[in-house]
Amino acid sequence: MNNRVSGILVFVFLFSVLELASGQEKIPFDGIDQTWQNGADRRDSTAFRGMKYFTPSILIDINYNYSFNNPIDHSVVGSTALARHNEMQLSALHFGGDFMVDNVRARVMTQFGTRSTIIPRNDYSPYVGQYDLANVYRYLSEAYAGYHFNKWYGINVDAGLFMSYIGLNSFYQAENWEYQASFTSDNTPWFFNGIRIQIFPTKNIKIEPWIINGWQSYGKFNSMPGFGGSFTYMSNNSNFKFITNDYYGTDTPGTPDRKRFHSDNSVLVRYYNNPGGKGITKMAFSITGDIGFEKGGGVNGFNNDDPVNNPAQYFVSAMFYNRIWFAGNKLAWTAGGGFMRNPGRYLVLYPTGQASPLPNPYNPTQTAGAFPFSANPGDQFEGWDCSTNLDFMPSPYITFRTEWVHRESSVPYFAGHGGVTSQTGLTTTPLDPAWRPDLVKSETKIIFAVLFRL
């Protein structure tokens, strides 16, 4: 009897392995329209049709933004989308694509432009050890390889550098409803480095575990890796999407006892859809809420019973956007905004220039700024923003965007007219002993962007 049971179990195991390796492929989310979703590719097909083993991808992101604070050094503070004020800038140039041969898969996307400096600048992990990881990875946005198993609706096992979708917005601006992301997305990670598994048990569901180096980090801050995952559900009628992302790790350099937890949750609803309409063709909204905390190593999560020695340190944020398409989907209007509260400032994007508390790349024992923005345990920070834009999309491959943004903070944070570099705005000018970075509590700006994708 035992031998018979053992034989049956072995047969079932071998059958499962064969099915996993050679089962008939099913396509996840097949027939579900994702082109309207915030953070998703709005194209319904690629221009590179019929290529068997490689599908190229090219993205160009060009912007001009004008801050009414008019900083003399042209610096932008607190943004991963914008770097320079009152200048035309190449924010991002990406080219690469996807490889697929006999279920072996890989994706490589390069990264050039101002985002190749803006995105990794808050990553402390390159200061652990040698080999200058920030420059090793700087010009890659994605580079991973893995294997696709034809089980259920597919299982992908990938290792390398890949995009994070904590915060809803995509890393690639052509996929987002707004250009300047609200605090919820802009202050959460854009990339992970490690192992990602994507499991599609049904057409409507994706389950995605992660084992990664850390929170937007090329290397590890401490010895423990970061753990997390994502769950996505989309309805058959294409009108509803739910996604939750959760993370746990140790992400304070030299403080392994301090643990971080973060949960990001989004709902997207398309509440009107009339593709053949002469006026409004569709309307949709997205709402995102984040909650997280750090605990241990001198901070105490949401508990503020001892604000001097063991202060509360947490993250709470939300954002909401509504989008309306019209004129045959060639025009779209988006409006929305959000808020963030982050005692301890552990996810705040630090100001640039002399206001930066980040290590000096030439002397890691010193900060890069002479008058750094404080980020001590318990330091308070609150911010809110609102924006509205108009998109002109004459083709699926290009978007012309005009956007108005207003942001405020509870402490001086954004670049004021005096800038954050020096009294002249030049990095070559010796600092006047009486000069200080001009940080202010609000900013209003206009953004013009051209987003190309092929």
pLDDT in tens, 339-372: 999 999 999 999 988 888 877 666 666 777 889 8
* Gap between the Cα atoms of 180 and 386, Å rounded: 10
What element of type H or E holds 170? Answer: none
Q: What is the reported pLDDT for 375?
A: 87
pTM: 0.88
Give me the residues of the chain with pLDDT under 50, please: 1-22
- Alpha helices (H) along 151-280: 183-186
Percent of the chain as helix, strand, coil, to the nearest 5? 10, 45, 45
Determine whether 244 is exposed, middle or buried from the number of CB atoms within 10 Å of its CB (0-12, 13-18, 19+): middle
| DSSP 3-state of 354 | helix
Strands (E), 130-258: 140-149, 155-163, 191-202, 205-212, 226-234, 240-249
Query: Which helix (DSSP H) or strand (DSSP E) does residue 269 occupy?
Result: strand 259-273
SS3 126: helix
For residue 293, the Cα-to-chain-centroid distance in whole angstroms is 19
Which pLDDT score, from 0 to 100, does residue 156 have? Answer: 95
Per-residue pLDDT, 14: 39
Whole-number pLDDT of residue 15:
39
Fold of 22-453: Porin (2.40.160)
Closest CA to 261 of 275, 246, 283, 282: 246
The per-residue pLDDT for 11 is: 41
Strands, E assignment, 274-313? 280-296, 299-300
pLDDT at residue 51 in the model: 76
Supply the pLDDT for residue 363. 66
Other C-beta atoms lying within 10 Å of the C-beta of residue 250: 23
With tokens 């990339």, the residue in question is 191
The neighbouring-strand residues paired with 254 are: none
Determine the Cα–Cα distance for residues 154 and 197; give it in Å rounded to an integer. 11
